[in-house]
A and B are shown apart, each in its own frame.
Chain A
Amino acid sequence: MSVQLPQFHKPPVNEVILSCQFEPLTSMRAVHMGTFWAGVRDRYPRTEEHPPVEPIIERFGSPKLQRPEVRLELVDQIKVPRVWMLDSTGRQLLQIQPDRLIQNWRQVDGVGEYPRYPFVKEQFEQSYAAFQQMVTSEDLGEITFNQCEVTYINHILPCDVWKDHSQIGAVFAFWNPGFSEIPLPLQESAALTTRTVLKDELGQSFGRLHLSIQSVFRLPDEQPMFLLSLTVRGAPQGEGLPAVLSYFDLGREWIVRTFATITTARMHAVWERYA
């Protein structure tokens, strides 16, 4: 890919998530969360507990028949929770569980200017450094990364270009409202998901791009909105934190280019594209 990325003064970004998954630290217990929190409490004074996110690995190969996925899990197993650590505004969120570290930036109640990717990445690096230190000092084992994930969630709100969901073709370039042999009624709602295998210059698969578009109504004002989610997930190409950070850069690049490709020039004008 080329160097110059599309740039917007007012991107519709609502949330950015940088996540790394690693082999489970089997010795890690809930009390270690407290040890870790003590070190970052000044940045993240609030906490919440949530069920852990299940592990996921992107696999590549011949396309398989779509069949129901079967999962088994122990019901009475005591699991170490996923702990949310939030800053005072709630916009910076750090999530920890024995096999994941997730850094989120998000708007709260639609408020908060996107601080840009380098800032979120820097937050991730700081959080990881603190986590690594705790893992080492508590002798919890080595962190062996197995997947990285970059997600951008966009809230596309009505503007001069579109007013209701039937005008989806004004927002997304690939949606052709004129495609119809018969005069179909306009769409009341729409949902689309795609999955794309990403390959490097040598043709090797290195990740998968998950795209999701949903027509929704924002709460509490019930404005129509398109929810556009873009995720790139795959294994880091190398070992250690540098490989994870490189993967984030690559994933972000794919997401930004995909975003610019699938949305219309009219919307780019609304978001004030300048590159």
Chain B
Amino acid sequence: MPKAVLYDEMTAGEERGRVGGPIGAQAYCQPLVPGTARYIVVRISGVQADLSGSNRNSVPAAPVAWAGNVFLRLQQLRSYPRNWDSYGGKALTTAAYLSANSLLGRLMFESIPQPSIVPTGRGGVQFEWHRKGSHIEVYFSPDGNSEVSFEDDFGGEWEGPLDELAYRLVAVLKNL
């Protein structure tokens, strides 16, 4: 369990692994479970206008509390051994991991309930929400492509590439 989530912004254009470290980190939340030391840093990077221009309000204030748990779960899936499910299951691929992390980064600043994280066994993963008669699944394939599907108890349904439907997905999740 994460002890705390640290939240900082990197200089625009700075690339992890090649140049310097975090700038101006600040504690975000109190330990969820005291005693187990796990810190997660949230880094935000982007074009200069995004970070310091007049549209700065596009950078949100604080991530939701469950973000750390989902992140740790993805980390865990990525380090699974081969045949982890005794059916030849594979660890989460790098492409699926990065895609899932990308969506997590987008959702974690919204008022949205925690998804269930379900590995597919073939190197992909699914985010799932089943609440209030709505069933939403986002599937990340091993090659990093992502599809979203929605169904509700009133017969409503739609599906398609996450790239095209991310805005609609967020709107639905906010109402769960």
A residues in contact with B38, CB < 8 Å: 74, 76
B residues in contact with A23, CB < 8 Å: 91, 93-94
Using a CB–CB distance below 8 Å, which chain A residues touch chain B?
Answer: 21, 23-24, 26, 51-57, 59, 61-62, 64, 66-76, 82, 99, 141, 146, 235
Q: Is B112 located at the chain interface by the 8 A CB criterion?
A: no
Task: Kindly identify, within residues 46 to 89 of chain B, every residue whose CB is under 8 Å from any CB belonging to chain A.
Answer: 46-47, 50-51, 58-59, 67-68, 71-72, 75, 78-82
Q: Is B161 located at the chain interface by the 8 A CB criterion?
A: yes
For B, the interface residue count at a CB cutoff of 8 angstroms equals: 48
B residues in contact with A21, CB < 8 Å: 94
Q: Is B168 located at the chain interface by the 8 A CB criterion?
A: no
Name which of A24, A53, A75 has the most chain B CB atoms within 10 A of its CB.
A75
Q: Is B117 located at the chain interface by the 8 A CB criterion?
A: no
Q: Is B18 located at the chain interface by the 8 A CB criterion?
A: yes
Q: Is B148 located at the chain interface by the 8 A CB criterion?
A: no
Using a CB–CB distance below 8 Å, which chain B residues touch chain A?
Answer: 6, 16-18, 37-47, 50-51, 58-59, 67-68, 71-72, 75, 78-82, 91, 93-95, 97-99, 101-102, 104-106, 108-109, 143-144, 161, 163-164
Question: A69-B46, A75-B39 given as contacts; is B163 within 8 A of A64 (CB)?
Answer: yes
B123–chain A nearest beta-carbon distance, Å = 8
B residues in contact with A53, CB < 8 Å: 17-18
Partner pick for B105 among A51, A62, A71, A141, CB 8 A cutoff: A71
Contact status B50-A67, CB under 8 Å: yes
B167–chain A nearest beta-carbon distance, Å = 9
Partner pick for A75 among B40, B51, B59, B75, CB 8 A cutoff: B40
Inter-chain CA distance A51–B21, complex, in Å, is 11
B residues in contact with A73, CB < 8 Å: 16, 40-41, 43
Contact status B94-A51, CB under 8 Å: no
Chain B at the A interface: SS class: mixed
A residues in contact with B72, CB < 8 Å: 74
Q: Which residue of B lies closest to A56 (CB)?
A: B98
A residues in contact with B163, CB < 8 Å: 61-62, 64
Contact status A71-B17, CB under 8 Å: no
Contact status A57-B144, CB under 8 Å: yes
Partner pick for B67 among A54, A61, A67, A72, CB 8 A cutoff: A72
Contact status B39-A146, CB under 8 Å: no
Q: A69-B44, A72-B104 are in contact. List 20 more A-B contacts (CB 8 A).
A: A26-B78, A53-B17, A54-B17, A55-B98, A56-B98, A57-B144, A59-B144, A62-B163, A66-B46, A68-B58, A69-B105, A70-B104, A71-B16, A72-B42, A72-B68, A72-B71, A74-B38, A75-B6, A146-B94, A146-B95
B residues in contact with A56, CB < 8 Å: 98
B residues in contact with A51, CB < 8 Å: 17
Partner pick for B94 among A55, A61, A64, CB 8 A cutoff: A55
Which 3 A-B pairs rank lowest in CB-CB distance, beginning with the nearest? A70-B105, A68-B46, A75-B39
**26 residue pairs bridging A and B, Cβ less than 8 Å apart:** A21-B94, A23-B91, A23-B93, A26-B79, A26-B80, A26-B81, A53-B18, A62-B164, A66-B46, A66-B47, A67-B58, A67-B106, A68-B46, A68-B59, A69-B46, A69-B102, A71-B42, A71-B45, A71-B101, A73-B16, A73-B40, A73-B41, A74-B39, A76-B38, A141-B82, A235-B143
